[in-house]
Amino acid sequence: MTSPHGTAQVVVAGGGPVGLMAACELALGGVQAVVLERLAQPTGQSRALGLHSRTVEVFEQRGLLDKIEHQAPVWPKGHFAGLRKVDLTKLAGKHTYALMVPQSRTEELLAQRAVELGVEIRRGHEVTALEQHPDGVTVTVRTDDGHYRQPAHYLIGCDGGSSTVRKLTGVDFPGTASTVNAVLGDVQILGERPQARELLRLPGGLFGMIPLGGDRYRIVAVEFDAEPVARHIPLTVPELRETAHRVSGTWLEIGESYWLSRFGDASRQAAAYRVGRVLLAGDAAHIHFPAGGQGLNTGLQDALNLGWKLAATVRGTAPDGLLDTYHTERHPVGHRVCMNTRAQLSLMHPSERITPLRDMFSELLDLPQVNTYIAEMITGLDVRYPMPGIPRHPLVGARLPALLIHTPDGPVSTPQLLRQADALLLDLTDSGAPGDLAKPWHDSVRHIPARLDAQEETTGLAAALVRPDGYVAWATADATDTQGLTTALSTWFTPDATSIPDATSTDDVTSTDEQEGTR
């Protein structure tokens, strides 16, 4: 049966936070997305608990932060390999903390936003097969009422670590299998409330008790060098209690259970994030040991990167190769997350042979430079995308920081300017030269003449081209220097007029030294 809804522009398989974020970004880009979620109702399970600094920035950028910020506990510190020394307050930027937000709340918030933007969410609809052809993709969908075929221009697989979309597309998922037996439960603790414990290394493995409010706790127990129990075998309360006892020596009086799960340290990454008209994001593209709470945050950043690029491609306004930059930019990020989570698990091994290494690493974390390096890596603040051929500037490839500026329409913050996910040419000069060069792209890039607020520290910024995801594609500290601007405009956006600046102009000429120094 062909879908009675007709052809969708983009189908998103998976209605978790990553799939919903991708759908929201597509909608902001003027593209209609349909989300197909296997589960008939949201689980309500807390799952991931933290939103890192970079994600908090993005939520502010999209106008979502005020819906959760005042309700969520703030974490001023993070951990690496269980060493809770990572000081988030020393990070650069406005949001130098993490927010303790249950995944269920993040999913609820993004679902509400998606509906506001006109996204169709079909719950109880599971993708079971797909076919690619030159003009699109067709997925077979199973529901309680039977099957139907849904044609679309593109498909995004956000359907988890066991992704059906990835398997049906035939994408390799290389990496390492799990070597630990790990269990997790959000449960009611009866009797006297025990003292909360961070994830600690004990002779028996790793054990933690995280308070979730009232008499609810998250119990985590990890046994090293143990035969993992198959993930499909349901975890029971008695098994959770017994595993926790073996690891910690603590006997827990457990009442009601709210969520029980197994996990492991398998670390795998999709060989390709794009195959034709099928793309992968979130756990469908990368899985790893849940150290530092990086999984959900990395997936949300995948969606942010992909959304505007796919929207431009569907609209027919994308320059050649734009969609391929999704893999180019995000695959190295996923690889780095898999690397650092494996390193953390190695340091957490209870073997006495690891103790000296762990002690030395603990000392290294006392060095401010090392601490900041680790904090930026865990939170994603160190992500800088390559911008070939663009002259060097500290902001090129990085996110635009939150700045207060004054425009002809009044004062505004840069996150507010990015709320509708359009590209910006932020012009803090009086020359008008950046705006003149960008005129052929006036339908794709919004020119914002402004001046920095007097309270802002010196940023060395005179003008910047900012992509819809908030990353800087070009910047200059010299009001008279527009070298590289038309190159950046042509790389990321299609001109909407025939009068394009001469490709041989000095604006596009980058010296060999500058090219080699471009990040």
Backbone torsions φ then ψ of 56, nearest 5 degrees: -60, -40
Amino acid 456: pLDDT: 79
pLDDT single digits (tens) 299-341: 999 999 999 999 999 999 999 999 999 999 999 999 999 999 9
pLDDT > 70? residue 507: no
pLDDT > 60? residue 503: no
pLDDT single digits (tens) 38-90: 999 988 777 788 899 999 999 999 999 999 988 888 989 998 998 889 999 99
- Residue 512 is which amino acid? T
pLDDT single digits (tens) 81-119: 988 899 999 999 899 999 999 999 999 999 999 999 999
Amino acid 400: pLDDT: 96
Q: Is 335 helix (H, G, I), strand (E, B) or coil?
A: helix
- Per-residue pLDDT averaged across 413-420, rounded? 95
Distance CA 393, CA 413 (A): 21
pLDDT single digits (tens) 136-187: 999 999 999 999 999 999 999 999 999 999 999 999 999 999 999 999 999 9
Amino acid 519: pLDDT: 32
Alpha-carbon torsion angle 397, 286, 264, 162, nearest 10: 160
Count the Cβ atoms, other than its own, within 10 Å of residue 204.
18
- Per-residue pLDDT averaged across 122-134, rounded? 97
Count the Cβ atoms, other than its own, within 10 Å of residue 2.
11
- Residue 233 is which amino acid? I
pLDDT > 50? residue 501: no
Structure tokens at 252: 């827990």
Band of residue 510 on the pLDDT scale cut at 50, 70, 90:
very low
SS3 annotation, 291-304 = CCCHHHHHHHHHHH
Amino acid 480: pLDDT: 87
Band of residue 20 on the pLDDT scale cut at 50, 70, 90:
very high
| % of residues, the chain, pLDDT over 90 | 80
Q: Which of 153, 145, 158, 150 is nearest to 130 (CA)?
A: 150
Distance CA 292, CA 400 (A): 25
Count the Cβ atoms, other than its own, within 10 Å of residue 135.
9
pTM: 0.92
Give the orientation angle of helix 368-379 with respect to helix 325-348, to 10 degrees. 120
Structure tokens at 10: 């983009």
Cα maximum dimension of the chain: 77
Band of residue 459 on the pLDDT scale cut at 50, 70, 90:
low
pLDDT > 60? residue 512: no
Amino acid 458: pLDDT: 58
SS3 annotation, 260-271 = EEEECCCEEECC
Q: CB–CB of 287/267 below 8 Å?
A: yes
Backbone torsions φ then ψ of 265, nearest 5 degrees: -115, 20
Distance CA 320, CA 329 (A): 16
pLDDT > 50? residue 344: yes
Q: CB–CB of 122/266 below 8 Å?
A: no
Q: Higher-confidence residue: 394 or 43? A: 394
Amino acid 517: pLDDT: 37
Q: Higher-confidence residue: 253 or 45? A: 253
Structure tokens at 290: 């849940």
Amino acid 502: pLDDT: 46
Q: Burial-class residue 40 by CB neighbours within 10 Å (0-12, 13-18, 19+).
A: exposed
Q: Is 489 helix (H, G, I), strand (E, B) or coil?
A: helix
Structural domains in the chain plus CATH codes: 1-39+103-177+266-348 (3.50.50.60), 50-101+349-383 (no CATH), 178-264 (3.30.70.2450), 404-517 (3.40.30.120)
Band of residue 1 on the pLDDT scale cut at 50, 70, 90:
low
How does the average pLDDT of the chain come out, rounded?
A: 91
Amino acid 6: pLDDT: 82
Distance CA 124, CA 144 (A): 7
- Per-residue pLDDT averaged across 411-435, rounded? 93
Count the Cβ atoms, other than its own, within 10 Å of residue 270.
25
